[in-house]
A and B are shown apart, each in its own frame.
Chain A
Amino acid sequence: MTDKKYPTPLLDDLEKGPWPSFVKEIKKSAKSPMVQDLLGLLERSYEEKIGHWKHGGLVGVQGYGGGVIGRYSDLPAEFPDVSEFHTIRVNQPSGWFYTSDALRTLCDIWDRHGSGLTNMHGSTGDIVFLGTKTTELEPIFSELTAAGFDLGGSGSDMRTPSCCNGMARCEWACYDTMAFCNDVTQTYQDELHRPAFPYKFKIKASGCPNDCVASIARSDMSVIGTWRDDIQIDPAAVKEYALAGKLDIGKDVAGRCPTKVIDWDGTTLAIDNSNCVKCMHCINVMPKALSPGKDRGATILIGAKAPIVQGALLASVLVPFIKLEQPYEDVKELIAAMWDLWAEHGKNRERIGEFIQRIGLGNFLEQIGLDPAPEMVIQPRTNPYIFYNL
């Protein structure tokens, strides 16, 4: 272990135990003076039960408003090497696939210009480089772009889109999430790097209703793969599941169906597809026997967010079904219409979900040129306070 500049007994306790230790990770990079001071500062937080970081400020790479989070310690005299300790968000490749060479390239750049600490990955999906000085930002940026990488989003911009691994490694992908994610990321580079929105706008792409990237909870625009025709059944494989005996098809499959559309008579499985809500449960538990239909596409939902400011929201249905085929012109027209409206009329720090609640979903749809559809609601309104437009 590298010589420690500061004793860190509280942090050292977190090196013990079976789960991989972030303290060990920090110490692996302790050849950097920044990391020595980070350990000292963090131990102080553990002693005092309070953080020692200040707000960001005017840091970034020239011309971009996104991608760098300014971070300054409030104890610069005691821990001078973390007086500046900025975060860089590097836009991840779709699906978080890497070659060992690509990882090493990123490591070498970060070794030369920063703390050597990373997050794989940040909450939004970016590769996060944790801790560097203002003077290193331009050199890092030029080395990253030379290596084919670019920065992700931050602030009031389109945030770095992310997606599940989709068709690359999943039989349930109802559209090509990685191609879609990469396409929108490349199409909207200006919106990603130059903040011009009331607040952040996240796009997440999941290939099926299992929603492995939590798009319905976490993205302003959630694109969830689904299908319109019948679930594909392989009767021989159904029989195998029945014979294997690990799964009680009556109880565990038919009994768990939310709309009770599965009939199981002990030998044959039948599905009333017209009332199936595409939840994925039966397919999840019998992957060899059942698979999504062939007429595949996606549902687009809008407006999810965490609590700040007006309360948390799950995304709600905007487009019940869309084929989602390249070059995605229909989706891009929709995005343009929404951004145009929200950018002009949204308040500062108002996410699009809150904006829709303020102006009303009916007005929002009218403005962006979509017709209301019963799929958008759990039920019609129950109150009679209707704004009739005569």
Chain B
Amino acid sequence: MSADVVKAKRKTDIGPPNYTKFLPPIIKENYGKWKYHEVPQPGVLVHTSHSGAKLYSVRAATPRLLSIETLRLFASIADEFTGGFLRFTSRNNVEFLATDEGKVAPLIARLKKEGYPVGGIGPSITNIVHTQGWVHCHSAASDASGVVKALMDELYPRFENMDLPGKTRIAFACCLNMCGAVHCSDIAVLAVHRKPPKINHATLGKTCEIPSTVAACPTGAIRPATVDGKQSVEVIEEQCMFCGNCFTVCPSMTMADPENDGISIWVGGKVSNARHEPMFSKLAIPYLPNNPPRWPEVTAAVKNIVDVYAKNARKFERIGEWIERIGWPKFFKLTGIEFTKYHLDDFTHAGESFKRSAQLRHSSEG
């Protein structure tokens, strides 16, 4: 297509459609006028306006990866029950927005019948935010959708009930790029590489810029080198912590390794400012194997942490707040997770995590 034709026909930079086009009348009428909300049952929010109007939101889980057949199903369910109005949440749930209380029960029944469970509000485990994994990503150290499916099949009652001490937010990322920014989650499931990049010297000089490849390494482990007469790079393997940043800027430095890639588990992060300030997740388990299709080691580990937390934490305490109260030694003891040298930080500012006081919770029982 010639440039002139393209220019003449194309509409650009219009931005997203204005959100006001998609708001139900009850929201337009009560925008900024909501007074309070209640959660009468799992998966249902009732917002009451200063005007007395009530909005019933019913939340259902989705696997995030959705066929247009399912989106059309959601559209028809919205037509049938909520005047055609629906929305999605920041954690990939779908919400149907009803004005008629009488529609709530049949709507829930319909969603469950179609296989989309209702819940994920309050002190529960809501949907796991996650990345693309083997479905669509070039740097994945594991699948994402499969691990999430296996985990949620196991944790499913925690979605449909509100029986946890506090909100529990789980996130999954399939490499350290963390498209899902899992680093501030109650439980973060993070796929990792554990071997240095394999360098394709035949292609590197042609496909990658050597200075930017060298500059990509956070630990300065990459140096320019001539290999078999070709311009390339070499890696000081002892300095590599397998972050994969070099692969992002240089496709000739591949990280994926079926035998050594796997999954790490992190706990105690949060983003909300409620009570404790936001905090990062901390390492609980450095490595579990990739074991598709059900990742049994990973699901068992996460379920264990959730169960121990559910049993021991106080009302409203999130995992990080609970651990801060009881101390990390007790967390490792209660969960039976082994504390290893990998739990000791050795990157920049590592010393900030060292215990620099004698305030310890000793116990004669060991």
Contacts and interface: CB of A to CB of B under 8 A. Distances in A.
Interface stretch (B176-184, B225-233, B334-342): B176-184
A46 B275 contact: no
Given A52-B134, A186-B15, A211-B272, A18 B181 contact: no
Given A51-B137, A103-B74, A120-B66, A216 B278 contact: yes
Given A19-B117, A97-B85, A278-B273, A53 B22 contact: no
B75 A110 contact: no
B181 A306 contact: yes
A46 B140 CA distance: 12
Contact of A169 (B34, B35, B181, B271): B34
Interface string A158-191: 0000101101111101001010001001100110
Nearest to B218: A309
A184 B21 CA distance: 18
* Band of interface residues on A: 35 or more
Interface string A346-359: 01110000000000
Contact of B57 (A169, A193, A211, A281): A169
Nearest to A38: B135
B14 A25 contact: no
B218 A116 contact: no
A193 B67 contact: no
Contacts of B134: 42, 45-46, 50-53
Contacts of B36: 171, 287-288, 291
B272 A118 contact: no
A169 B261 contact: no
Interface string A17-45: 11111111110110000000010001001
Nearest to B290: A49
A50 B142 CA distance: 7
B65 A116 contact: no
Contacts of A96: 87-90
8 contacts: A22-B145, A42-B135, A99-B22, A103-B71, A123-B129, A214-B90, A281-B275, A310-B218
Nearest to A213: B90
A14 B272 contact: no
B19 A210 contact: no
A220 B173 CA distance: 19
A55 B251 contact: yes
Interface stretch (B3-11, B102-110, B357-365): B3-11
Nearest to A10: B293
Interface of B: 1, 6, 9-19, 21-23, 27, 31-32, 34-38, 47, 55, 57, 61-72, 74-76, 78-79, 84-90, 92, 94, 97, 115-117, 129, 131, 133-140, 143, 145-146, 148-150, 152-153, 156, 159, 173, 176-184, 212, 215-216, 218, 243-245, 248-249, 251, 256-259, 261, 269, 271-280, 290, 292-294, 315-316, 347-349
Contacts of A142: 9-11
Contacts of A94: 16, 19
A62 B13 CA distance: 12
A212 interface: yes
Interface of A: 10-11, 13-14, 16-26, 28-29, 38, 42, 45-46, 48-56, 62-64, 71, 85, 87, 91-104, 106-107, 110-111, 116-123, 125, 130-131, 138, 141-142, 145-146, 148-150, 162, 164-165, 167-171, 173, 176, 178, 182, 185-186, 189-190, 193, 209-218, 224, 252, 256-258, 277-281, 284-285, 287-288, 291, 306-312, 314, 347-349
A120 B129 CA distance: 11
A24 B70 CA distance: 10
Nearest to B173: A306
A123 B131 contact: yes
A116 B69 contact: yes
B248 A118 contact: no
Shortest 4 CB-CB contacts between residues of A and residues of B: A17-B153, A100-B75, A209-B273, A306-B178
A71 B221 CA distance: 28
